[in-house]
Structures are given as structure tokens and as C-alpha cells.
Amino acid sequence: MNLQNIRIAVDAVVFGYQQGKLYVLLIRQKFGSDEAYWALPGGLVQDNESLIDAVKRELKEETNVAVSYMEQLYTFGDDVNRDSRNRVISVAYFALIDVAKTSIKAATDAENVHWYAVDVVPALAFDHKKMLETAVLRLKAKLTYQPIGFDLLPQEFLFSDLENLYCTILEKEIDRRNFRKKILSFGFIDETDKFSEKKGGRPAKLFGFNKQKYNQLDKEGFHFDIKFA
């Protein structure tokens, strides 16, 4: 009987949002040759660590980024030749982060790290394009039934920023009046006493996400959905 010679890897699809665009964090790798390529952060799982610990370690080592929201996305391994070097099965995760809070820095086997707008990513190594496409679909789906978009925004934000985030990611125009009324009715958005510092025009109130209130509502089982125009 032949023994298996399969390696387990993890990869991270990390999304950020800034100035009306959805971004993904990519690294440029180089392995003992002149050929370098862009890829999702990730690497092999060590014998003594869990999958989630492995993906967080690889992300921190290669990009200097730590995330608070991360979930398992999908296992990629049906293509036995997805990595030309070895037989590798990869467990992909996706994460959301406020770009303004990151200080990216390439290290270990990454020679560069960069935020790319999702609609203009370069050619990616392995099957990472498929991973990214799968993660975008998951993000779009979850936004309609779980308010995870707040992980992409600053701690305090304009309500219009939240509306624009949904429009950008879902690639649809939402019913803004209905959206605002419904979101505020849940009670997990706090209106602060602060205003935006944008030049010109009337200053607008800033809002904040009340995670404690949301967690309580979630336990009680409330229904969250987004209406489109």
C-alpha cells in the first residue's frame, strides 16, 4: 500500500474597503529563481498547529496584518496539479479588515505586499483566482443576511459610507431610504455626537457599530436582509 504524500496549506483572502472600492491583499512571492508572482498570503500548516492558527501566522509573517474577523471559506484540492511543486490541498479563509488600521510589510517568502482593487488584480499563482472569486461570492451573500460590512469600515463612519459599501460590493443600487430605516431600527447602530470633517457642504453625523447590541440580537434570532431599488 502506498503512503500518502500530501501537504496541507492555508491561504487567506483578506478584503479591505477604501474610497468606494473593494480591495484584496496580495503578496509577491519568489522561490529560488528569477520568476516572481502575485498570490494570496498563505503557506504550509505546521505539525503542531491548527488550521486557523496556521493561516493567522502566515498572514502575520508575510504581510504584518492581524485580523479580527476570519472564517473558513472552502477547501481547494480537486485539481491534483494545482501546485507544480507538490501535491497540496489548501484550506482557504476569508477575512475583513479596515485598511486604515493596517501597516503592511512583506517578510519571509514574500518580497512585496500590496492592496489591489478586486476588479484589477494581476494574474495570480496556482488557483488563487478561483479562491478570490469564491470569496467575493461568499462576501456578497453574507452581506445580505449578516451585517459583516462593519468590519470593513472605521470605528466611526458616515451613514452614506455604509450605504456606498453595500452598493459597491453587491454591485447593485440599494433602496437607501428603506436601508437606513431598517438598519437604524435594529438598534445596533449608535449615532455619535461627532460630525464629519469634510470640507464644503453641511457636516454630517458620524455613526458607530454597537457589537454588543448586535451579538444580543443575534442570540435572540432576528431577521436581517437588504432591500434593493
State the Cα–Cα distance between residues 165 and 179, nearest whole angstrom: 12
Name the pLDDT band for 86 (thresholds 50, 70, 90). confident
Residue 138: its pLDDT value, please? 96
Instruction: Report the predicted TM-score, pTM, of the whole model to 2 decimal places.
Output: 0.90
Average pLDDT of the chain to the nearest whole number: 89
pLDDT > 70? residue 33: no
- Surface-to-core class of residue 137, CB atoms within 10 Å of its CB (0-12 exposed, 13-18 middle, 19+ buried): exposed
Average pLDDT over residues 47-52: 95
Query: pLDDT for 140-180, tens place per residue?
Result: 999 988 889 999 999 999 999 999 999 999 998 888 888 89
> Side-chain half-sphere of 56: how many Cα atoms within 13 Å?
11
pLDDT computed for residue 202 by the predictor:
77
Give pLDDT tens digits for 202-211.
788 999 999 9
**CATH classification number, 143-220, choose in 1.10.150.120, 3.20.20.70, 1.10.10.10, 3.30.750.24:** 1.10.10.10
Q: What type of residue sits at position 51?
A: L
Task: Give domain limits for the chain.
Answer: 7-130, 143-220
pLDDT-above-90 percentage for the chain: 61
Helix boundaries (H) for the chain: 51-63, 128-143, 159-170, 176-186, 211-220
Asked if residue 164 lies in contact with residue 104, where contact means CB atoms within 8 angstroms, the answer is no
The β-bridge partners of 16 are 23, 97
**pLDDT class of 131 with cuts at 50, 70, 90:** very high
Q: What is the pLDDT of residue 104?
A: 92
Evaluate if residue 227 carries a pLDDT over 70: no
Query: For 68-95, what is the mean pLDDT?
Result: 86
Same fold, 7-130 and 143-220: no
Map residue 85 onto helix, strand or coil: coil
Output 79 or 169, whichever has higher pLDDT: 169
Quickly state the pLDDT bin for 79 (edges 50, 70, 90): confident
7-130 adopts what CATH topology? Nucleoside Triphosphate Pyrophosphohydrolase (3.90.79)
